[in-house]
Structure 1
Amino acid sequence: MGSSLQEARALADIGLPVTFSIIPGLRHDREVADFAAQSGIETMIHIPMQSKGWPQRRLEANGLLLAMDEAAIREHMGDYALRIPRALGVNNHMGSEFTEHEDKMRAVLGVLKGRGLFFVDSVTTPRTVGLRLAREMGVKAGKRNVFLDNEQDGAYIRGQLAQAVRLAKRNGAAIAICHPHPATIATLAEALPPLAGQGITLVPVSRLVR
């Protein structure tokens, strides 16, 4: 989130608990954060982190890189918090490379612990150390269980949502992540309200971290 106020309004109009994860530095990041606060919508900071495809795969200019030392990481984290000051937690944007490195993630999680923020691991690599390290450091954390919209197709998104429902029923809860694409928003607007009839309660992600 953070590139458009229109998509923020469309998601809010669904009228069910969702959590906005805002990339700091996008054109409308502060507007979206202010709108979320006014609408009672929980926010996280969506931290850009180096992927295995970088630099061929673009990363935001303010993203975290392996080449950064702890002081630089802490400085970036402080800048993110200044842009989205009411965020309750963070999750990683990309980061398939960065989240595999314990020393770098320790610096990130140390800042989160100091600020009382939680961490949701987007699990962009099976070798991520994020959740384990957060638990070790005493940072409230959770992990993504399902990506809803790797394909921009309504049937695919519904199928992924059904998988999240199955996991929630089996395990008691599930965290699903998606992007604010038009197809995703349209599908969620149709598919989320009926979930209550399946015994599913939608909650902000802060309720699911521990």
Structure 2
Amino acid sequence: MTQADKDIERPLGQAVRPARRPWPRFRAGRVVAVAAALCVVAFSGAIALRERPFRNPAAIVVSTPQVEAPAQANAPEMAAAPVEPAAVPDGPSIINVNPPDGSGKGVVIIRDPSELGQNLRVAHLPDKALIEQSETGPLPVRGDDGRRPVDVYARPWSGARGARVAIVIGGLGLSQTGTQEAIGKLPGEITLAFAPQGNSIGRWMQEARRTGHEIIMQVPLEPFDFPNVSPGRNTLTVDASAEENLEHLHWALSRTTNYTGVMNYMGARFSANATAMGPFFAELGKRGLLYLDDGSTARSVAPELALKNRVPFAVGDTAIDGVRNRGEILKKLDELERTARAKGYAIGTGSAFDVTVDAVASWAQEARKRGIEIVPISALTTDPERG
């Protein structure tokens, strides 16, 4: 039959339908390859949209229901400052925080365990659970839950293992003008050490913590040629009884709050005497404080006693302002940088002289551009409790 005959026999009004094309066959390998490519693109986009790497905690506002706790009669007043856990979690922790305005919008904070320390917005407020009231004033103490002042009052840092430098500037509180200049000019990463003989230490502590500084207390220890060379009032001495030295230590510790530990002021003779240093370190371990040895004497028994008494410990590499000259101070700071690049970290100590403060502030700004991280002293301690 011809095509014309077929067309004649076809019912009127029906068009010729084109032949259907078969569906293309997709091979399994191609499907897997396309899916893998889409996953790579999605993952890359997620990373690109992140503001910083995982080391920086991110706060994301989400809609979460506000849970109201049932009212209790005569409920105790909440502590003024939030607290941080002393133990480092195995991974990032998620904390839900509901604001007091009743908006119902919570904040989810993803916290990296390497970033320890107090929220800087409330860092000037003491944690009541870490204070023991005494005749001399408030003393730092471990909390009933095991938290330590060295952890709670530590300034957060990145947790990275690059070249790190800690700089501790001491003598705060002795000069009102000098103290104000140091707090105002030095970047928050610089640790400040307060002299117990200073004035208005509580007020300066709050100002220092508001601007981000970690702080420690200086404790006067007996040097050689004492009392001709004297670090000041209530010096701990080799010949004094353990009880008398503890009284002097408590006086220094009670001068303010919110500090992570102590460092020696002078003390070459005292630091070399294990009998005198034993009760001193036992008290620091009991109270959860760190100890910084300025490194001025090689005969110090501090490392052994710190390990024995579970005291976080660090030793200074160099005093940066032995010569009070800007050029010489900058040379010492450059030495610290070379040390940090060689072994991973370095610690420098100095005093709150105008020339020292100006040199450190200038050097720190440039050092960051060269990849140096300025960290608080608590970040560079050897901590027997953390291994």
| Structure 2 CA distance for aligned equivalents of residues 135 and 115 of structure 1 | 15
- Is this contact kept in 2: 1:16–1:202, CA < 8 A? no
- Is this contact kept in 1: 2:321–2:356, CA < 8 A? yes
Match of 1:92 in 2: 264
> Normalising by structure 2, what TM-score?
0.52
| Structure 1 CA distance for aligned equivalents of residues 375 and 181 of structure 2 | 18
Between 1:62-71 and 1:27-36, the stretch displaced more is 27-36
Pairwise CA distance, 1:75: 1.6
Runs of 4+ in 1 over 3 A off after TM superposition: none
Pick one of 171, 180, 190 that aligns with 1:9.
180
Match of 2:126 in 1: none
Amino acid at match of 1:27: N
| Long gaps (5+) in structure 2 | 1-171, 383-387
> Normalising by structure 1, what TM-score?
0.94
| Structure 1 CA distance for aligned equivalents of residues 293 and 264 of structure 2 | 6
How many pairs are equivalent? 210
Query: What SS is found at the alignment partner of 1:51?
Result: coil
Is residue 2:192 matched to residue 1:20?
yes
Pairwise CA distance, 1:14: 3.1
| Structure 2 CA distance for aligned equivalents of residues 2 and 23 of structure 1 | 6
| Long gaps (5+) in structure 1 | none
Pick one of 238, 252, 272 that aligns with 1:80.
252
Match of 1:183 in 2: 355
Match of 2:100 in 1: none
> Per-residue CA shift, 1:43-79, capped at 9, x if unaligned?
1110111101211113312111112111112222222
- Is this contact kept in 1: 2:295–2:318, CA < 8 A? no
> Per-residue CA shift, 1:8-65, capped at 9, x if unaligned?
3323333341111111122243332232233231111101111012111133121111
Amino acid at match of 1:102: A
| Structure 2 CA distance for aligned equivalents of residues 74 and 87 of structure 1 | 18
Q: Which has the larger radius of gyration?
A: 2
> Per-residue CA shift, 1:151-205, capped at 9, x if unaligned?
0001110110011101111111111100001111121122110001221000110
Q: Structure 2 matches for 1:1-150, cutoff 5 A? A: 1-12=172-183, 13-150=185-322
| Structure 2 CA distance for aligned equivalents of residues 120 and 138 of structure 1 | 14
Is residue 2:331 matched to residue 1:170?
no
Cα distance change, pair 78–7 in 1 and its aligned pair in 2 (3 A): same
Match of 1:203 in 2: 375
Between 1:16-25 and 1:162-171, the stretch displaced more is 16-25
Query: What SS is found at the alignment partner of 2:373?
Result: coil
Cα RMSD over matched residues?
1.4
Between 1:83-92 and 1:130-139, the stretch displaced more is 130-139
Bigger fraction of residues in helix: 1
| Structure 2 CA distance for aligned equivalents of residues 95 and 27 of structure 1 | 22
- Is this contact kept in 1: 2:318–2:347, CA < 8 A? yes
| Structure 1 CA distance for aligned equivalents of residues 211 and 350 of structure 2 | 20
Tell me: higher relative CO, structure 1 or 2? Use CA pairs within 8 A at least 6 residues apart: 1
Pairwise CA distance, 1:143: 0.3
Between 1:30-39 and 1:132-141, the stretch displaced more is 30-39
| Structure 1 CA distance for aligned equivalents of residues 283 and 365 of structure 2 | 37
